[in-house]
Structure 1
Amino acid sequence: MYSSKSLLASLLAAAPVALAATTVDDSQCDCYLSNGTKPTYYANHMFFDFRALSQYASIPDLISTIEGNANAGFTSDYFNWESEFGQTWGLQNWSNGDADFPMQNSYNNIYIQENTDDVPGSDTFLTMRTARHDGFQTASEFETIEQHQYASMRMFARTIGSKGACTAMFTYRDAEELANVQEADIEVLTSDADNVIHYTNQPSYTDEGGEVEGATETVTLTDGLKWSQWATHRLDWTPDQTVWSVDGLQTAVNSFQVPKDASSLIFNAWSNGQTWTGKMDEGGVAYQQIQWIEILYGPADASTCSKVCSIDETTELGKPVLKGANVSNESRCLSSHKMRRLK
């Protein structure tokens, strides 16, 4: 016969099993509820995992001409247009058209790389590269093929390399006039200390070169967080505010000029030699390296959701769980009854 102490110990030992939520497929979710200071219902979920792709891993040599970079092919079949990645994301090869400081995006700068960290947390990761050549800069960018309205974007990433680069995760909707551009972004400047990050609801400047007050916040990370080390960076774009966090710690929030319309979701690594990025020394290279990307996107009407899922309460990265389905009512009642008996 159990003593009260023995029974309590048994209940506590069994609690993790009883409370463990079972992961489900996205087809079993009507909508998704994000956590944080601005919980929001979303209609859709995507997850791209770059941690176990050794079959595609290869570091391509830098290409020394603008034309070569512009015409370069995919670095592996993982990125081609028929792949799962290529059906969602479009790699970019546009140039900035600046004769004084040409910048050329290239497919050659986006590739899968073996993780050779001292204590690797994955087999591989995705690398985005920007490099300074003789007379020009190469860069890398990919964006969603479709535009989306509102999103909770997360990436497990780090930025390393030479000074003079910017790496980013952001939303973007172009406009003919700068004042009408809509963008919410996370930007890392490799010229900064590695605990400084810039969070902005663009535009942050005017055509005349002045600053738009309230658009941007430069944050010094606490708790030892650094953009040069692996961390989960998150941007929550909601109808009335943008919220940013690193490893679950909220770092900034802004309700000023929040983007309103459907936008592209974009990742990039670049430098244009101007005031924002600075100019990278010739031969310099910088990288944004990403182990995974997870995004909730599109507005959902909570009143129509009978099966609400969470990606924040899951025990398996990339797999949602049904909210409130982790413990049955019968189990709750039984546990409550047993605990009352122990008092």
Structure 2
Amino acid sequence: MKSGSLSSGILPLASLTLLLYSTLVLSNPDPLINTTSTHRSNKVLHDCDCFTVSGPDPGYYQHYKVWDFREVSFDRRIDPIPPPDVDDEDDEEFTDDDTESFPHEGGNQSMWFFETGFDKDWMSQQWDRPGNSKAPVDMINSKRNVFFTRNYELEDPHATYLVLRTTRHEHFTSTAEIETRVRNIYRCSLRVRLRILPACISVASPSNISNDSSWQPSIPVLNNISGTVANSTTALSGDRPHPGACVGIFTYHAQNCESDIEILTSDPSYRVRYANQPDYDPVTDEMIPGASTVADLPVPWTRWSTHRLDWLSSASRWWVDDNIQDSKTYRVPNLQSRLVINLWSDGGVWTGDMALGDSIFLGIEYIELAYNRSSDGSRGIDIPPSQRHGGHQKSNDKVSISDIEELEEESWEPDTDLVTGSAKKKKKKKCKKGRKGDKCRKKLPRPRPRPKNPSHHGPMEPPCRRACYIDGDNFRHDVFG
């Protein structure tokens, strides 16, 4: 995930070929929305060979993506499986375990994340973690805690944003997490425009979970341990969320190769925590000096603001609204990683506990990413690394996975196509009557060749003749409008 500086010299033809792939994707769920701006954005991005960022190190990233959640169309449903077509023998097989259409309340006021094309790049998670002595409340991640809703604070009737939700139930906490399907990001500049919503705001969700048992994953009985750190209702001011949860935005490879932004809803609304892992020494039972910082921000996280993490070759830097907040050289991640955004609570010392029935909502307007990728990739991980996430989540070995099909690794192929966000279809392999042999065999993806001695020294470095400065006013106007 590292972003080493790109060579300006002339490289062999193979390296020059890679230059053609150093493009970006502007991800909008509906190509009919703001098409003029989108076309202008794609033209601007096509003119870029690499991307630089503000700060002491420009980064020189080969790829760039924006996932814009501000105008998502809700006029879609998951289509039923199409009937067999005997004349079409070359259809590819798509998989999606959510083939039924879920009810929507309030006249299309919300929509599940997994119903849209954004799910191509980000997976909403569905798995559980039983409680233990340090994290006494069972956690259940559900993909139905990740959805789009209307932004009623704006006059635009089409305005929307993404929501992650966590809710305290009697015996467990229902939590939310999304993570990239790509696992070989190697240095990046990640920006998330977010707001933790005040408890007084009403959020429309796609279905009434109190009347819908299907939102909860099928899992064995968990080992809920009674007695939590704090399970009481706290008096709230008008702009405060409920206490007891943690927002995490981080790169992840392993528990000792991770860079974090964490926000505790029990903290003052201007406080945030930055760390490179590990930041805690279990032998001495003390925090590691220089590994973490508690920072007070110029803008509270209850207002819309852009939180940024730069993963560079020799430092991690954290920003809010273009103002640098912290920088660390301690244990800068040095291995290919994925990106994770979550909202969770386990009743432990770090998050505290939520009061029974309380819900906390994280709103996200967009995710922006300039990044490089390692040249060797990563295959064969059978459990999403986030389930073993260290940091301040107290993991254990009892991890169950409810939908293993979701774990297949995808790759973002650099191109200029828009992610449409349309509902995914599940197609069956068809074969003409009487056909046998190769014509009827399921098409399998060809395995990628693996190097004999894989290296983690970073991506190949094509020349960068046309660098685009993504923090410049002109660039941001062209891309975001």
Name the TM tier (shorter chain): 0.7 to 0.9
Deviation at 1:97, TM superposition (A): 2.1
> Which structure carries more relative contact order (alpha carbon 8 Å, separation 6+)?
2
Q: Which residue in 1 is equivalent to 2:362?
A: 288
Q: Secondary structure at the match of 1:86?
A: helix
Verify the 8 A CA contact 1:28 1:307 in the aligned structure 2. Answer: yes
* Percent identity (aligned): 32
Verify the 8 A CA contact 2:469 2:475 in the aligned structure 1. Answer: no
Deviation at 1:204, TM superposition (A): 1.1
User: Hey, what's the Cα distance between the residues in 1 that align with 2:173 and 2:50?
Assistant: 42
Verify the 8 A CA contact 1:54 1:123 in the aligned structure 2. Answer: no
Alignment CA distance shift 1:282-1:256 (3 Å): same
User: Hey, what's the Cα distance between the residues in 2 that align with 1:199 and 1:230?
Assistant: 19
Verify the 8 A CA contact 2:190 2:309 in the aligned structure 1. Answer: yes
Unpaired segments of 5 or more residues in structure 1?
A: 1-21, 59-70, 322-343
Amino acid at match of 1:157: L
Counterparts of 1:253-332 in structure 2, within 5 Å, are: 253-298=327-372, 304-315=463-474, 317=476
TM-score, normalised relative to structure 1: 0.74
Q: Which residue in 2 is equivalent to 1:220?
A: 296
1:164 aligns to 2:200 (yes or no): no
2:180 to 132, 141, 144: 144
User: Hey, what's the Cα distance between the residues in 2 that align with 1:93 and 1:250?
Assistant: 34
Q: Secondary structure at the match of 1:155?
A: strand
Q: Secondary structure at the match of 1:232?
A: strand
User: Hey, what's the Cα distance between the residues in 1 that align with 2:354 and 2:139?
Assistant: 12
Q: Secondary structure at the match of 1:150?
A: strand
1:96 aligns to 2:152 (yes or no): no
Verify the 8 A CA contact 1:182 1:260 in the aligned structure 2. Answer: yes
1:185 aligns to 2:260 (yes or no): yes
How many residues of Structure 1 are paired with residues of Structure 2 in the alignment? 280
Deviation at 1:307, TM superposition (A): 2.0
Verify the 8 A CA contact 1:57 1:113 in the aligned structure 2. Answer: no
Counterparts of 1:234-253 in structure 2, within 5 Å, are: 234-253=308-327
Q: Secondary structure at the match of 1:108?
A: helix
Alignment CA distance shift 1:290-1:207 (3 Å): same
TM-score, normalised relative to structure 2: 0.54
User: Hey, what's the Cα distance between the residues in 1 that align with 2:142 and 2:339?
Assistant: 18
Amino acid at match of 1:45: Y
Alignment CA distance shift 1:111-1:56 (3 Å): farther
User: Hey, what's the Cα distance between the residues in 2 that align with 1:303 and 1:146?
Assistant: 21
Alignment CA distance shift 1:53-1:143 (3 Å): same
User: Hey, what's the Cα distance between the residues in 2 that align with 1:228 and 1:221?
Assistant: 12
Which digits, 9 at most, give the CA deviation of each residue in 1:199-254, with x for residues without a partner? 111111123433111110000113xx101100011110111101111111111111
Alignment CA distance shift 1:74-1:214 (3 Å): farther
Q: Secondary structure at the match of 2:287?
A: coil
Verify the 8 A CA contact 1:43 1:296 in the aligned structure 2. Answer: yes
Q: Which residue in 2 is equivalent to 1:48?
A: 67
Deviation at 1:105, TM superposition (A): 0.4
Q: Which residue in 1 is equivalent to 2:143?
A: 107
Verify the 8 A CA contact 1:164 1:190 in the aligned structure 2. Answer: yes
2:153 to 113, 117, 121: 117
User: Hey, what's the Cα distance between the residues in 2 that align with 1:279 and 1:72?
Assistant: 35
Counterparts of 1:126-141 in structure 2, within 5 Å, are: 126-141=162-177
Which digits, 9 at most, give the CA deviation of each residue in 1:127-163, with x for residues without a partner? 0011111111011001111121111000111113210
User: Hey, what's the Cα distance between the residues in 2 that align with 1:116 and 1:57?
Assistant: 20
User: Hey, what's the Cα distance between the residues in 1 that align with 2:354 and 2:101?
Assistant: 25
User: Hey, what's the Cα distance between the residues in 1 that align with 2:101 and 2:288?
Assistant: 39
Q: Secondary structure at the match of 1:95?
A: strand
User: Hey, what's the Cα distance between the residues in 1 that align with 2:358 and 2:59?
Assistant: 41
User: Hey, what's the Cα distance between the residues in 2 that align with 1:276 and 1:194?
Assistant: 16
Deviation at 1:34, TM superposition (A): 1.3
Verify the 8 A CA contact 2:72 2:158 in the aligned structure 1. Answer: no
Verify the 8 A CA contact 1:72 1:107 in the aligned structure 2. Answer: no
Verify the 8 A CA contact 2:319 2:325 in the aligned structure 1. Answer: yes
Q: Which residue in 1 is equivalent to 2:270?
A: 195
Larger strand proportion of the pair: 1
Verify the 8 A CA contact 1:56 1:112 in the aligned structure 2. Answer: no
User: Hey, what's the Cα distance between the residues in 2 that align with 1:246 and 1:254?
Assistant: 16
Amino acid at match of 2:322: G
Amino acid at match of 1:88: D
Alignment CA distance shift 1:211-1:77 (3 Å): closer
Q: Which residue in 1 is equivalent to 2:395?
A: none
Q: Which residue in 2 is equivalent to 1:153?
A: 190
Larger helix proportion of the pair: 1
User: Hey, what's the Cα distance between the residues in 2 that align with 1:77 and 1:153?
Assistant: 24
Verify the 8 A CA contact 2:113 2:124 in the aligned structure 1. Answer: no
Verify the 8 A CA contact 2:73 2:158 in the aligned structure 1. Answer: no
